[in-house]
Structure 1
Amino acid sequence: MENIQRSLVLIKPDAVERNLVGKIIDAYEGEKLKITALRMITVDEILAKKHYEEHISKPFFNELLEYITRSPLVAIVLQGENAIEKVRKINGNTNPEMAEYGTIRKKYGIDKTKNSVHASDCEISAEREISIWFPEGVKK
């Protein structure tokens, strides 16, 4: 039985600045994930705080805000069978030093914050994040 899911992916400012958008998208499409929405956006502080609200009390919160708002990023909705798990496997560990060889973060990540990509961690987070980045809705 198929488990078609959607996941939000952010190609973060460090990757956009280094012209890696096409290579990163190719990694997802190569695994049969379909792009159902895509936009490039320069994030303001309001959107950044909404996205990272679970981290507000953490010591690295201000660093996250500065980083995510510094230059444009690409927000994407990917859809496919077991999309959430598949995307997270393609991305690799949050810390590029600990990521598996061949993953996006191992190839392109700079450090734990500047790790090139973000992805939803579960279906509830995916729906929440998709509604933040694509408030007009996304067709399934």
Structure 2
Amino acid sequence: MQEQTFFMIKPDGVKRGLVGKVLGRLENRDFRIEDLQMRMITRELLEAHYADLVDKSFFEGIATFMMSGPVVTGIASGPDVIKSWRTMMGVTDPVLALPGTIRGDFARAQENGAIQNIVHGSDSPESARREIQIWFGK
């Protein structure tokens, strides 16, 4: 099924020069990158994106990490792109992420209260629509 997803290359991925490698994996799977931006995250944008986590004790660690440098955000499209992108990313915890996945190949263990796992991707069509609206206003 043709669909869209939101993706993000987090500050650790940008800082470590992995943007091209991550985008290349999307393109190698014949997914289309429809929009792409590099930006700094504001607190307001971060709280909108992570609305369900704002009241959690660990949110400040996430906020500090996510606002520590620029991120690359994008919209990718293609057949079953949400499920495929999530598989390509690997599991959230870098220690458990399998080799061959983005997180398995590039992510590092938790540092400074936040998991530095290179990428984010929408987990459902509803999340994709919500995140695309937050980040791109579409």
Structure-1-length-normalised TM-score: 0.93
Alignment equivalent of 2:109, drawn from 97, 108, 111: 111
Task: Measure, in 2, the Cα distance between the counterparts of 1:131 and 1:69.
Answer: 20
Displacement of 1:101 after TM fit? Answer: 1.2
Secondary structure of 2:41's partner? coil
Q: What is aligned with 1:13?
A: 11
Displacement of 1:51 after TM fit? Answer: 0.6
Percent identity at matched positions? 34
Displacement of 1:32 after TM fit? Answer: 1.2
Secondary structure of 1:124's partner? helix
Q: What is aligned with 1:41?
A: 39
Q: Which amino acid aligns with 1:9?
A: F
Q: What is aligned with 1:59?
A: 57
5+ residue gaps, structure 2, are none
5+ residue gaps, structure 1, are none
| Residue-by-residue CA offset, 1:77-135 (whole Å, 9 max, x unaligned) | 00000010000000000011111110000111113521000000000000000001101
Task: Measure, in 2, the Cα distance between the counterparts of 1:105 and 1:94.
Answer: 8
How many residues matched?
Answer: 134
Q: What is aligned with 1:132?
A: 134
Displacement of 1:60 after TM fit? Answer: 1.3
Task: Measure, in 2, the Cα distance between the counterparts of 1:108 and 1:55.
Answer: 25
> Which deviates more from structure 2 when the two are superposed, residues 62-71 or residues 121-130?
62-71
Q: What is aligned with 1:97?
A: 95
Task: Measure, in 2, the Cα distance between the counterparts of 1:110 and 1:49.
Answer: 24
Q: Runs of 4 or more off by more than 4 Å in structure 1?
A: none
RMSD over equivalenced CA pairs, Å:
0.9
Task: Measure, in 2, the Cα distance between the counterparts of 1:64 and 1:6.
Answer: 25
